[in-house]
Amino acid sequence: MISSYLNKAQLSVNPTLISAELEKLEQHLKNTALPDVRWQYQIPELGEGGACSLFGYLQDEPFKLTDYIKSNEQTQRKLANLQSIVSYIELQTGVDWYGIYQSTNTSEGKQLLKLAYHGAPSRPLFPLTQAFATGSNNVQVALSNKGRVINNVEQYLAQGGEYYTCDPKVKSEVCLPLFNLQNDCVGIIDAEAFNNDFFDEKALAVLIACCIKIPHFLV
């Protein structure tokens, strides 16, 4: 399972380290009370054309998950488990921002829908199109199935890399795919930190362990 994930996502991290982190995550989910579900959250205004968020400017109305997924007991429990994983990631890594996204069919086409997160408000939906992928790590990862680790955003930009800026304080970012049992990409996770070189092998092992577990709780 771990080797399959690493091969599919084209990542090089010690499988034994990931296995140990996966066991710790399992214990956390087993022994920790489920948190409240955040069915709606504040989101930023989008700039011209909807390509970029206007950082620091929030829309008046909150974004409602119930506009995209059904609110029932089963979904409630799955979302609560996802929020528990978000809290676990925050505790284990100290990451400044972390989100879980699911590929979802919407009236505007297939998009990445943010189901649970920690950190500053951010956009809730990313169009799963090649055009949007040119400036979005999230969409690039979802379409390519390949993980992306950027431990110095400024250097990455200076080298000509395309980058979707949500929070200008972000110095490091990791986007990783989520695979179902058929090895299809069904979503992504996005983790951001305000320091360079934040995502060492230990942090990546925690993130990957969670990526292996998260698909069980997608809605």
Residue-wise pLDDT for 27-45, tens only, equals 999 999 999 999 999 998 8
β-strands 125-127, 109-118 pairing = antiparallel
Per-residue tokens: 162:
């395309």
Q: How do residues 35-73 score in pLDDT, each as one tens digit?
A: 999 999 999 887 655 555 666 688 889 999 999 999 999
| Cβ-based neighbour number of residue 30 at 10 Å | 7
Residue 63 CA from chain centroid, whole number: 17
Q: How do residues 123-174 score in pLDDT, each as one tens digit?
A: 899 999 999 888 888 999 999 999 999 999 888 888 877 666 667 789 999 9
* The total number of residues written for the chain in this structure: 219
From the list 199, 118, 189, the residue with the least C-alpha distance to 156 is: 199
Do 25 and 213 touch, CB atoms closer than 8 A?
Answer: yes
